[in-house]
Structure 1
Amino acid sequence: MDWLIEIPFPTGENRVDTNVDFSFKRFESSGLQEPPDFIHDIVLQWAIAPFVVHEQIAYRIPAHNDPEIKEYASVNFTSLFTKVRGIYTNGKLEEIRLEDLKPNIKSSFIESVINTSKIDPLVSDFYLQGECERSNRLNVKLFQINRDSFIKQTTYLAHPDHKRLWDFINRPFKTSAEVTISPTNWGLSDDLLESPFLVFLSRYASEVVLTVNEKDRNVTMVSFKE
């Protein structure tokens, strides 16, 4: 796999500010009346898909007081999830947490999007891959994508929705150096050259790093920078 370069783990300490006042506030519904557009809204698909795959999870959206993220959550997510809460530090919105996808929403999403193959390939690739073998042992390594080599070996078909997804997963992190997300059932192999999400990410991110358990070749995390 000439498109990967093993890199060392970063050194240095992550300092945590202990002088922080945390508070929680529930988001109230804005009164959205129309049914959610599961088929055409890639952001809704991206946020709902993990709740179809996993039980008892929470989806965290870093917000950093971004008014657009806050408005989108108020208009859309409050009608889909039982709990939509804002987490504030020193009075500033830092994170929006989604919990408990409503059962009727989950059923509707599965029926209208998954069962009809209307789910976006980027979302399906990241969250809905088939099961892969997992080892009880752990030996984690980091591999950075050689973008030049990866791009030469892949074909990217641009779509307007891709910019919307990129803005959603990246914009709230602009105050951070790196974004880290966890794919479902990704195995490290040359098959990733055909991964729609990784191909998309290689065109938008300046740097992409895969965290891999060498014991089972499972990709546990994908980290990237703008």
Structure 2
Amino acid sequence: MSEITRAALVTGASGGIGRAVAERLAADGTAVGVHYAGNAAAAREVVGAVQRAGGRAVAVRGDVADETAMSAAFDTVEEEFGRIDVVVNTAGVMVLGPVAEFDLDALDRMHRTNIRGTFVVARQAARRARAGGAVITFSTSITRLAAPGYAAYAASKGAVEAMTLVLARELRGRDITVNAVAPGPTATPLFLDGKDEETVARLAAQPPLERLGTPEDIAETVAFLAGPGRWVNGQVLFANGGIA
């Protein structure tokens, strides 16, 4: 078996954008830690897909907001592959509703995953990523679009952007890039859930490219930041087909 020269941990990799990212990085020859929170079968499916394509992968479990669980997940990836170069945090929760009626318990749950979870993962990444590596967080184009009903979600992702830009500067001299990807409307179960056909069609028509993004579109953006995009650092990269 060939020596591993690059390894990544992708959170939320059991489905949607996370799965596409894991498979895309593996296609570039990166060994991948496929993180999941609860769906072990889906994570095993991703691992199997990577392995069938000739790549290396291992499933790791944990609540991203639990520092002990995530430390163990990072340990597993390092033990399996001998290194961690790239950390991609796609794990997130989206709850929608107007500010006046928003459930505060839902707010707390979402912020625990999106803000604390991102911070916990970034904390481990800052300690473990190797020189030449990359840390990639996930924001959303909603921070620009400011659509009604998205205030709580956008606020959580605004926090992600802030910590991302600061971390890039804190890692000065380490040769590690830190960037956020901010997808626009993307055809994932998280996005499509609860939307009727008319709503989906309206959203798909908004970008000049006149379609929804796909998980693979976003994965290509991540692959660029994780690989050749070494001069892009401390940025929020909007991947939304020109919607904003």
Flag whether TM exceeds 0.5 (same fold). Answer: no
Rg comparison, structure with higher value:
1
Please give the TM-score of this superposition, normalised by the length of structure 1: 0.31
The alignment's TM-score, normalised by the length of structure 2, stands at: 0.29
More strand by percentage: 1
